[in-house]
Chains A and B, each alone.
Chain A
Amino acid sequence: MSFLVTLALGIAAFAAAPLIAHLLRRGKAREQPFPPARLVPPARSLARESRRLDDRLLFAIRAALVVLLAVLGATPLVQCSRLSVERASGASVALAIVLDDSLSMRARLPSGDTRWERAQSGALELARSARRGDALGVVLAGRPARVLVPPTTDLDSVRRALSDLKPTDRGTDLAGALRMAHSLIAELPQRDKQVALLSDFAVEPLGEAGPAFLAPLPELATKVDDCGIVSAERRGARVEAAVACTSASAATGRSIEALGSDPRMGEPTSGSALGTAALAPRGGTQVLSIALPAGREALGVRLTGSDALEHDDTGSVGREAAALTIGVHADPSRASPSTGGRTLIEQALQALGGDVAVRPLAVLPEDAKELSAFSVLLLDDPTGLGPEARAALDAWLARGKVAAAFLGPRSERVQLGSTLEPFAHGAVRWEATRVPGLDPESLAWLGPEAVALADIRPRGRSLLEGADLPGTKVRGRFQDGAPFLHAREQQRGLVLTFALPTSADESDLSLRPAFLALLDHLLEVARERAGPSRSEPGTAWRFPASSRAEVIGPGGTLPITEATRAEGERVFTPELAGRYRVTTSEGTEERTVVLDPLELTTEPRAPSETRQAAGRAASSPGVDVSPEVVLVLLGLLGIESALRIARLVPRLRRRVEREERIAAE
């Protein structure tokens, strides 16, 4: 408690002043010489009684006024369970609220509220405690992290946005959300910058290093028992379901049932189960196979029993998922490491893991049907594409595929009748270079790994300047400013052109972790663009603006997330797990959104003490009750004024009567 606060509270001692003044005055009635005193009837007790009530009321009001003034001076000392913005120096604050809207936040706490309800109300309390001059921003930590409200001093808009917010089935990206939050407020003029993280911390530990944050609601990290259906797919006459449980106790005595209807789509599930399978009493993810009766089709699955999170106890049965197939056209003699084995691209793709299948292509297919099996096509140091191959590639790209070419020394030796289109226009010259590497800032969209590309020591590079086709954008550059990566939309597809091959003889590009990040980003783009049959909540589905697109899922028809992108895309982002029907100009397809098993199996854990150190004061937040105190003060002043007027009016009336009587006499 600061000296000023103590001093302000000391004012409360003056609450006794009205009492002392009252006691001093009480015993002495004003003495007045009055010759006809014997004609005046004594009425001492009556006079005292009549004043006692008024005096007590006035005394109470005045004492309350003094106490409230003391509280007003000491604000924000007052403590209560409500969250509020902590002000170290009383000045304006730049506050980024990171609100976890992942699936695990739907869990119900022992108190009866869900984690989401508590976190949302906490965020609203923080927003309501902000004053004029404060800047507030909101970042959502459901994967991928995104900005809900950029920093603004329009506090009402922040409150409205928070009030309208709904939880999602997304995974959690706390680290990304924290980085985003800090970058949001870094440039704001307010000296006091804070990040309040409202999450259950059901993620991998954030680590000791990194920007500090406040975690004002530690109760969100309370552990609960939960089992949830991660995914369910048809596999012939069976349904294969992945179920994730937080602990053995959560799985004990529970089973999964296959249903003839889809509860996620709101269809009734009153009928008997088509099949069932018991859960093994253990935590973690387990895959169960449910046999279906002949001729029956299962549309949904359901877990028996109950737990803290009912929302994930049902699931949709999707069609058999196809892995993301990637075709790699590379010369093993040039693109493989000196130790032999598969090409560096293939090894990198395998290292990424996940649901991908890599197929090497010795020759580029010249028929679009042959390409249709691929979602991504990677060409390493191609020598050109013939007319048939280009036509097949164009048709394939029109279906929302992704093609990438890593141009190398062979790109300037394009064979007769072949071109590098759609990757580059005309012949691309290869030159020797002494540039140390790439410009990390131009590749910042890759994340922190981009820094490693600054020193890849290329021996040569393809000159992409002048080779760009209409609509090409530069997404990365060398340190001397020459383009490294061209990106171009071609109908629904995306064409990427790199100025370096993957060969380790030409550069260290494929040997750096950033190469994995580059490929991972490329696959992510491919998933978004091609619209895999199975994706996680929060994955954007992109369609050309010129194409008709409608997406109907568990929550009804999905709204368009971003309709005015420069690329002219329609973007849909499913937030809920379940089966979706996607209707475009090219037909109707079914897509399934499944949960992240880590979101279910990762237990909440207390955040790092070190990273919370800077915000420890917020765990017992001071509440600025100035507006309320001022209102009460005004109310008391009004009451006192009314009392005084009530006393004054009859006095004035008597005075007027006396004046009239005197005048009459």
Chain B
Amino acid sequence: MTIRDAIDWGRLAPLRLKASTLADGVYAGAHRSLRRGAGVEFGGHRNYVPGDELRFLDRHARMRHGLLLIREFETETDRALRLVVDASASMSFRSERAPAAKYAYAALLAAALARVALARGDRVSLDFIGGERTLGLPSTGGREAFERIVGHLETARPSGAATRVDLETALAPSLRYARRGTAVIVLSDLLDLPDGAPELVAGLSASGRSVIVVQVLDPVELTFPFHGPIALAALEGDTRVETDAAAAQGAYLEALEALTRAWESSVVARGGKLVRAGTHGDPVEAVRRVLEALSRAREGERRQR
């Protein structure tokens, strides 16, 4: 079995080509890229310390008050994109009605988002929650970045249960390195994440970061189309439920909605957004919705500031 075979890519292969095509179809003006130009936003004053660049010395304050103050700026060009992809075992699920596994769909969205960001000159990083052969990618940019990101996404193999350690490990780089304005996009089914995961993810929103949670679900998970007596086995853990499909359908859908609402309330409360995407849906539309959600989150963060 090759690494490639471990992921059910279905109709989403090859990822590189699909992601490029997908990115080309997405409206590329979802956020401003101001690395070049006059887009400098004043961030406040601080006392001068030896070593500061003199060009940031506020001449007007020196002349008016006789103080040596350094002007600080926050630049929008530092809005890097941090992708956190769930690679736990549940993401390998693919039903007969889905074009590919949930991980494949999440990887496609991640690659497309990365290509959109890279095309605008933003830097992109990649982290995984759980999984095997997962290799994080630090914030990077340039022509080679997309190839590296696609390679890492293809290399990863979703397996195992996502523990709290896995989650914290995946979110730690974002917490540590992401500056104000950084967009953190978490792609997961949100189903088997450890307790406290919503709060951990929502916590990324601190320090001016914009958090978008993309819930990727299989159409079977969205509709529960079973009938008759059935035994359902989770992919993570040993949960096995024997039930009557007709009787359980309503309760299951309510529980799924409750789970999603819990995540949404946690994320939205911190200024983030939650986007649900079914693997049977149009990925272009999904990427577009993610970018729109990101735009709205940044707008809200700007107004809040």
Residues on A facing B (Cβ under 8 Å): 29-44, 46-48, 50-51, 650-651, 654-655, 658, 661-662, 665
Interface string of B119-146 (1 = CB under 8 A from A): 0000000000000000000000000000
Bound form: Cα–Cα A46–B189 in Å? 30
- Interface SS of A by simple majority: helix
Interface string of B230-257 (1 = CB under 8 A from A): 1111111101111111111101100110
B234→A44 contact, CB < 8 A: no
Tell whether B266 is near chain A: CB-to-CB under 8 Å. Answer: no
A32→B93 contact, CB < 8 A: no
- How far, in Å, is B160 (CB) from chain A's closest CB? 13
Residue of B229, B232, B249, B251 near A37 (CB, 8 A) is: B232
The size class of the interface chain B forms with chain A is 35 or more
Residue of B192, B240, B244, B252 near A35 (CB, 8 A) is: B192
User: Are A35 and B236 also in contact (CB < 8 A) when A40-B252, A42-B242, A665-B222 are?
Assistant: yes
Residue of A38, A50, A655, A662 near B244 (CB, 8 A) is: A50
B222→A47 contact, CB < 8 A: no
- Interface SS of B by simple majority: mixed
Given A32-B232, A39-B259, A40-B241, 15 more contacts at CB 8 Å?
A30-B230, A33-B232, A35-B221, A36-B189, A36-B221, A38-B192, A40-B224, A40-B243, A41-B251, A41-B255, A43-B247, A47-B228, A50-B247, A654-B249, A662-B223
User: Are A42 and B233 also in contact (CB < 8 A) when A34-B220, A662-B280 are?
Assistant: no
Bound form: Cα–Cα A44–B244 in Å? 6
Tell whether B182 is near chain A: CB-to-CB under 8 Å. Answer: no
**Chain A contacts of B259 at CB under 8 A?**
39
**Chain B contacts of A665 at CB under 8 A?**
222, 276, 278, 281
- How far, in Å, is B68 (CB) from chain A's closest CB? 59
B residues 159-217 touching A (CB-CB < 8 Å): 189, 191-192
B252→A661 contact, CB < 8 A: no
**Chain A contacts of B90 at CB under 8 A?**
35-36
Residue of A nearest to B257 (CB): A39
Tell whether B227 is near chain A: CB-to-CB under 8 Å. Answer: yes
- How far, in Å, is A225 (CB) from chain B's closest CB? 73
Tell whether B51 is near chain A: CB-to-CB under 8 Å. Answer: no
**Chain B contacts of A44 at CB under 8 A?**
229, 242-244
B248→A40 contact, CB < 8 A: yes
Bound form: Cα–Cα A41–B278 in Å? 23
- How far, in Å, is B99 (CB) from chain A's closest CB? 14
- How far, in Å, is B151 (CB) from chain A's closest CB? 26
User: Are A34 and B247 also in contact (CB < 8 A) when A39-B255, A658-B223, A665-B276 are?
Assistant: no
B93→A35 contact, CB < 8 A: yes
A651→B227 contact, CB < 8 A: yes
B223→A661 contact, CB < 8 A: yes
Total residue contacts A-B, CB cutoff 8 A: 126
**Chain B contacts of A662 at CB under 8 A?**
219, 222-223, 278, 280
Can you name 29 A-B pairs with beta carbons within 8 Å? A29-B242, A30-B228, A31-B230, A31-B233, A32-B232, A33-B235, A34-B233, A34-B234, A35-B218, A36-B255, A37-B233, A37-B240, A38-B234, A39-B191, A40-B224, A40-B232, A40-B243, A40-B255, A43-B248, A44-B229, A44-B242, A44-B244, A47-B247, A654-B227, A658-B224, A658-B225, A662-B219, A662-B222, A665-B276
Tell whether B56 is near chain A: CB-to-CB under 8 Å. Answer: no
**Chain B contacts of A32 at CB under 8 A?**
226, 230-233
Bound form: Cα–Cα A655–B246 in Å? 11
Bound form: Cα–Cα A29–B224 in Å? 16
Kindly list the 4 A-B residue pairs having the minimum CB-CB distance in the complex, ordered from nearest.
A47-B244, A35-B90, A37-B234, A658-B223
**Chain B contacts of A47 at CB under 8 A?**
228-229, 242-245, 247
User: Are A29 and B219 also in contact (CB < 8 A) when A35-B90, A42-B243, A50-B247 are?
Assistant: no
**Chain A contacts of B251 at CB under 8 A?**
40-41
User: Are A35 and B246 also in contact (CB < 8 A) when A651-B227, A661-B223 are?
Assistant: no
User: Are A33 and B93 also in contact (CB < 8 A) when A39-B259, A40-B241, A662-B280 are?
Assistant: yes
Residue of A37, A51, A655 near B228 (CB, 8 A) is: A51
**Chain A contacts of B243 at CB under 8 A?**
40-44, 47
User: Are A33 and B233 also in contact (CB < 8 A) when A38-B241, A41-B251 are?
Assistant: yes
Residue of A nearest to B281 (CB): A665
Bound form: Cα–Cα A651–B233 in Å? 23
Residue of A nearest to B93 (CB): A35
A35→B235 contact, CB < 8 A: yes
Bound form: Cα–Cα A28–B221 in Å? 23
Bound form: Cα–Cα A654–B241 in Å? 21
Bound form: Cα–Cα A665–B277 in Å? 8
- How far, in Å, is A653 (CB) from chain B's closest CB? 11
**Chain A contacts of B221 at CB under 8 A?**
34-36
**Chain A contacts of B227 at CB under 8 A?**
651, 654
Residue of B nearest to A45 (CB): B244
Interface string of B265-305 (1 = CB under 8 A from A): 00000000000101011000000000000000000000000
Residue of A nearest to B255 (CB): A39
A41→B248 contact, CB < 8 A: yes
- How far, in Å, is A26 (CB) from chain B's closest CB? 9
A41→B229 contact, CB < 8 A: no
Bound form: Cα–Cα A236–B252 in Å? 111
Bound form: Cα–Cα A535–B182 in Å? 130
B252→A36 contact, CB < 8 A: yes
Bound form: Cα–Cα A260–B245 in Å? 92
